[in-house]
């Protein structure tokens, strides 16, 4: 029988297939940045940790982990990252300096990474995503915080799941697929379709290879709702 438990900053999802997925407020808060302009692809604003947990209960997780496609319906959001050569094809495209969060394995925290923003006059509705993706991987203590590792080691069930390869961790969730074939109606080169690299590999602002897309049409109802939701607190 599946179950969801919360203890302090950690949530564990106990699945019917005996896999256990651990998530933390650190990850939920990072996912919450996908409701804010300029941080990459954005959800439509209604995604909550409870919705993510429900998908972690029901969706198939590959034994080796990876991208788990999910459908949040109207809340899938907008795909707003692209290779720079694709982003520069959008209407009135201009480059500005921006930043995106990424996990720093040294500090075990999310840190801002300088990236290029490509501003376009195209409306955000041109970038609607038809699916979303959760990244779920086998538990790796080297990519976890000391607090989370201690939590796992002090819990007999979690420790046993880790030792038998049944413990997984939610890394993030974002609009769009794990691989990209097109963005905003523009085809993505085949050599860049397999996956979106970590923000630290985007080439920064001076020599960008990937970019965050900032749509225009600020007066659109969709954009007004997006901007309002960007100021709301990410809550359980």
Q: What is the structure's pLDDT at 218?
A: 39
The length of the chain in residues reads: 236
Q: What is the structure's pLDDT at 231?
A: 39
Residue 140 has pLDDT above 80, yes or no: yes
pTM of the model: 0.77
Of 198, 71, 60, 64, the closest CA to residue 133 belongs to 71
Mean pLDDT of 17-36: 86
First to last CA, the chain: 22
Calculate ∠ Cα 140-194-42, nearest 5°. Answer: 75
CA atoms within 13 A on the CB side of 129: 27
User: In this structure, are residues 15 and 21 in contact, taking their beta carbons and an 8 Å threshold?
Assistant: yes
Mean pLDDT of 9-22: 98
The rounded mean pLDDT for the chain is 87
As a whole-number percent, the residues of the chain with pLDDT over 70 amount to 88
DSSP 167-182: EEEEEEEEES-SS-SE
pLDDT in tens, 35-52: 665 667 888 766 889 999
Residue 196 has pLDDT above 70, yes or no: yes
């Amino acid at each position: 029988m599946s179950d969801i438990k919360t203890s302090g900053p950690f949530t564990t999802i106990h699945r019917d297939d005996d896999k256990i997925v651990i998530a933390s407020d650190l990850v939920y808060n990072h996912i919450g940045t996908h409701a804010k302009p300029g941080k990459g692809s954005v959800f439509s604003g209604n995604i909550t940790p409870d919705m993510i947990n429900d998908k972690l209960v029901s969706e198939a997780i590959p034994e080796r982990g990876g991208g788990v496609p999910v459908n949040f319906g109207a809340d899938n959001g907008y795909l707003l990252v692209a290779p720079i050569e694709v982003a520069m094809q959008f209407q009135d495209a201009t480059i500005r300096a921006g930043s995106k969060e990424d996990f720093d394995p040294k500090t075990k925290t999310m840190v801002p990474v300088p990236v290029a923003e490509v501003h376009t006059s195209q409306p955000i509705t041109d970038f609607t995503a038809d699916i979303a993706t959760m990244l779920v991987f086998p538990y790796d203590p080297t990519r976890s915080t000391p607090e989370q590792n201690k939590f796992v080691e002090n819990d007999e069930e979690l420790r046993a799941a880790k030792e038998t390869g049944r413990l997984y961790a939610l890394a993030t969730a974002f609009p769009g697929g794990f691989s990209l074939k097109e963005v905003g109606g523009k085809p993505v080169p085949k050599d860049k379709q397999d996956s979106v690299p970590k923000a630290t590999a985007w080439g920064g602002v001076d020599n960008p290879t990937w970019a965050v897309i900032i749509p225009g049409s600020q007066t659109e109802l969709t954009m007004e709702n997006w901007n309002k939701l960007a100021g709301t607190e990410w809550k359980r």
